[in-house]
Amino acid sequence: MPDWSYQTLFRPILFRLPSRLSRKITLQAIGGLSKLPGGSFVVRTFGHMEPSPLLESEASGIVLQTPIGLSGGVDPEGIAHLAIAQFGIGFIEHGPVTIKRMTSLAAIEKDAGQEWIRYPNYYENEGVDRVTELIRTAKHRLPQFARITPMPYTDRREILPELISMIEQLTEAGTDGYYIDVLHGDIGWEEASVLLNDLAGQLQLKSHTSPASNKPLFLYTPPNFPDEYLMPLIQSLPRESWSGVVVGEASSYSFEGALASKVSKEEKADSINKIKAIRSVCAPNWIIKAGGGVHEPQDALDLLQAGADYIMLHSGLIFAGPGLPKRINEAIIYEQVKFWPIEEPPSFWKHWGWMCLLGIGMMLGGLLSWIVAATTVLLPYDLSFIGLSLEDLHHINHNLLHFMSHDRITLAGTMLTIGIVYFQLARHGLREGLHWTRTALLVSGVVGFASFFLYLGYGYFDPLHAIAAVLLLPLFVLAMRRNPDRPYRFAVNVRNDRRWRRAMWGQLSMVVLGFALSIGGLTISVVGITEVFVQTDLVYLDTSTAELNERNAKLIPLIAHDRAGFGGALFCAAVAILIMALWGIQQGSRWLWWTFLLGGAPGFYAGLSVHLSIGYVDLWHLSPALFALVLYVLGLILLYPYLMKLPEAAADGRQ
């Protein structure tokens, strides 16, 4: 459920359902997908959220791949943790966790316009036994932290034993650290100070018999907890026993006779103030985690700028979408690398230049093929293979040459598309060390070279195609070698503004286009090496496969070669377009918009114009191409404002 599908299709539907139901449907969908064979691969492929090494850090002896964490309130039952672990997050919180399960039947309320969610029961959770099982059986490898809190109305004398009991149980399951959540209800800061000091002391005494004392402890505070009580409490804690403070994303307050919590954009201001105040009094090595009001990447940057070390996500995932962690990570990387010295671009001959030459070769080959297909249609070795002349073919079927010209011109247009796309990906992506462009070229290239041999299934060896493969394959190999990834050095989008939301529709159009073309390419290839013709082809030719085969047994292999070759080339181009649409959409990437425009134009023009010129205008036959054209035009229109306008950071001269 990437942002381009969540924002456009799923969110409008889910937000019309009761909150508990929509949450369950969403988590079960992505959680169920991740548990299927190959499901995790699908999640990674759609999101391309592998974290950069630049994001890795160590906190209290724990290695975190990214500074982004998942709040426990997002998936309290752990239904989709395996999938969410691949969204670009670095750690997972469980909580609140109480010693017994706490349930509520009251509705969870939300407001899409104001972007807030209200939970009717602050304590609602699965209980320590269930959380212990979740941590013990987790399929992901991310660090897991537990936010533990005493049961409501627990006798003061029972709070400490309750907390220690949960810590010991959760530690045995493999919990990596604890957020101690006691600053709610009617407990005062002085009483909380005594409790927290006693907790640290007792855990220290158990250090020789239990590993619990070795786990980092964090004080958990709601963003609306008064500073006049929090600051002296923090100063009273033994610095050597505590690792830091977690500024929670949810404000707690009394609502209809119960302790409720609310997560919203409004928590950001309180969180920033809280972070700054805590940083001014806490130990220099203490870690601050915060997550209040993070609904777009700029919110996370603001919290980090205020002094937070790590960010936790909750309501932002619901309102912005599952791509938010990736977008935040990209923004953080940009903030790190924007002042780095600009590296000299790699030599043309190191890797990217070879791919440029391959693209130019494909373009020249496409132009040559188009000229031949529009004039003689067949080459001398084609005529030699079937043992007929052009005049003989015309006598066999007066539409046959037109039909073969139609196959070859569409192939030529697709070759031009591939050449333009490859050249652009090499010049603007491979040259800059962008990982996704290398992947696009690698996957598309492997598919393309493999498709050269589809026609062998019908016993026809095309020497020109073979020569092209021999000449271009070394260029492909040279382009893929010694090609290390480099961080993205351009400003990224940090706002959930109208331009970004509109671009999600454009991205959806291009992703669907990529899938549609992929399915079309595979279908044409399969038809080309099996049935060869579809029914509308035979209607246009006014003949049958058997009749053509009877007139000349080598006609079908020759036509099959053209069809399979076109199908393979279309699939090759579609794979590149799909990866561009899935992974390459970044605000201000003007070159990508021009790649979509210039790359798609010859393919669509060739496919539609040749049908009109030869009179093959069956609407059913052309409907897939017309559908693809609509997606293509919509994608270009909707992506134009986003791709052609630089993000704020770049506009301010910081790119």
d(CA 567, CA 570) in angstroms, rounded, equals 5
More confident call, 474 vs 487: 474
Q: What are phi and psi of 604, to 5 degrees?
A: -70, -40
Q: How far is CA 180 from the centre of its chain?
A: 33
pLDDT tens digits for range 224-281? 999 999 999 999 999 989 999 999 999 888 877 788 999 999 999 999 999 999 999 9
DSSP 555: H
pLDDT tens digits for range 75-92? 999 999 999 999 999 999
Question: CA dist 437 to 429, 430, 433, Å?
Answer: 5, 6, 8
d(CA 152, CA 122) in angstroms, rounded, equals 10
Q: In 558-631, which ranges are E strands?
A: none
Question: CA dist 96 to 109, 152, 485, Å?
Answer: 19, 12, 40
Residue 597 has pLDDT above 50, yes or no: yes
Query: If you count them, how many residues does the chain have?
Result: 655
pLDDT tens digits for range 599-634? 999 999 999 999 999 999 999 999 999 999 999 999
Contact 136, 174 (CB under 8 A): yes
Closest CA to 524 of 646, 407, 351, 396: 407
Q: What is the pLDDT of residue 211?
A: 56
Contact 610, 492 (CB under 8 A): no
Token pair recorded at residue 383: 């005529």
Residues sharing a CB contact under 8 Å with residue 627, sequence separation 6 or more, in sequence order: 516
Got the DSSP string for 185-222? TT--HHHHHHHHHHHHHHHHHGGGT-GGGGS-EEEEE-
For residue 91, the one-letter residue type is F
Contact 479, 442 (CB under 8 A): no
In the chain, residues under CATH classification 3.20.20.70 are: 3-337
Mean pLDDT calculated for residue range 440-445: 95
Q: What is the pLDDT of residue 482?
A: 77
Q: How far is CA 612 from the centre of its chain?
A: 40
pLDDT tens digits for range 346-391? 899 989 999 999 999 999 999 999 999 999 999 999 999 999 999 9
Residues sharing a CB contact under 8 Å with residue 585, sequence separation 6 or more, in sequence order: 4, 503, 506, 507, 510, 592, 639, 642, 643
Contact 441, 422 (CB under 8 A): yes
Predicted structure pTM score: 0.92
Half-sphere exposure at residue 206, Cβ-oriented, CA atoms within 13 angstroms: 17
pLDDT tens digits for range 115-148? 999 999 999 999 999 999 999 999 999 999 999 9
β partners of residue 254:
259
CB-CB neighbours of 134 under 10 Å = 21
DSSP 15: T
* Enclosing H/E stretch for 4: helix 3-5
Contact 342, 433 (CB under 8 A): no
Q: What is the pLDDT of residue 654?
A: 40
More confident call, 1 vs 212: 1
Sheet holding 258-264, edge to edge: 109-111, 116-119, 258-264, 250-255
d(CA 70, CA 87) in angstroms, rounded, equals 10
Half-sphere exposure at residue 88, Cβ-oriented, CA atoms within 13 angstroms: 27
CB-CB neighbours of 392 under 10 Å = 13
Got the DSSP string for 473-497? HHHHHHHHSS-------S-------
CB-CB neighbours of 646 under 10 Å = 17
Pairing status of strand 310-313 against strand 287-290: parallel
Contact 306, 276 (CB under 8 A): yes
For Cα atoms 533, 549, 543, give the angle at the middle one, nearest 5 degrees. Answer: 55
d(CA 36, CA 24) in angstroms, rounded, equals 18
pLDDT tens digits for range 315-328? 999 999 999 999 99
Contact 237, 198 (CB under 8 A): no
DSSP 119: E
Q: What is the pLDDT of residue 216?
A: 94
Confidence bin at 572 (pLDDT 50/70/90): very high
d(CA 598, CA 424) in angstroms, rounded, equals 10
Q: Which of 91-105, 199-213, 310-324, 508-522 shows the lowest mean pLDDT across its residues?
A: 199-213
Residues sharing a CB contact under 8 Å with residue 396, sequence separation 6 or more, in sequence order: 388, 548, 551, 552, 555
Closest CA to 145 of 190, 113, 175: 175
* Fold annotation for 3-337: TIM Barrel (3.20.20)
Confidence bin at 652 (pLDDT 50/70/90): very low
Q: What is the pLDDT of residue 209?
A: 66
Closest CA to 512 of 324, 363, 638: 638
Q: What is the pLDDT of residue 474?
A: 95
Token pair recorded at residue 81: 């943790």
Percent of the chain scored above 90 by pLDDT? 77
Span between the terminal Cα atoms of the chain, in Å: 31
d(CA 217, CA 598) in angstroms, rounded, equals 56
Question: CA dist 176 to 60, 86, 91, 141, 571, Å?
Answer: 10, 19, 10, 11, 46
More confident call, 487 vs 615: 615
Q: What is the pLDDT of residue 269?
A: 94
d(CA 374, CA 407) in angstroms, rounded, equals 11
d(CA 59, CA 246) in angstroms, rounded, equals 13
